[in-house]
Amino acid sequence: MSEPAIVLFDGVCNLCNGAVNFMIDRDPKGKLKFASFQSEAGKALLVSKGVPVPEGDPTSILLVVGDKVHDGSGAALRIAARLTFPWFLFAFWLVVPWFLRDLGYYLIAKNRYRWFGKGDACRIPTPELKARFLT
């Protein structure tokens, strides 16, 4: 897991922004970098990987590691694998077939604005965290 890992997230989603804060707090070595889907850096990364830039509301976070792009529960669990104890233990769930894991993941993703709300603008990192975000 020495390759850079970039998390692409919905910058106006309150749940997603909370998840980014959670990841940052549990990634003291800075293994994860971040970009919102709405940012120029996020869009450029998607284009460089041959992934369509989402129009409207993105339905998933993405994890980009090298040439691989992971989405849904696979992305979430691979992100967990990069966090501190006990969170990396959640990667164990990767043994469950993706179509079963994604049922729960996409139920939450589909309802996230209704349950957690939506902001007016993308997250702006503090000066201390700016290096963790692609610009």
In a domain, 115, yes or no: yes
**How is residue 85 annotated by DSSP?**
T
The reported pTM is 0.88
Sheet of 62-65, strands arranged across = 32-36, 5-9, 62-65, 68-71
Which residues of the chain, if any, have pLDDT below 70? Answer: 1-2, 121-124
pLDDT given at position 77: 97
pLDDT given at position 81: 96
Number of domains present in the structure of the chain: 1
In a domain, 129, yes or no: no
Q: Are 11 and 38 in contact (CB under 8 A)?
A: yes
In a domain, 131, yes or no: no
In the chain, the amino acid numbered 98 is: W
pLDDT given at position 122: 65
In a domain, 88, yes or no: yes
pLDDT given at position 57: 76
Q: 90 is in which domain, residue-wise?
A: 5-119
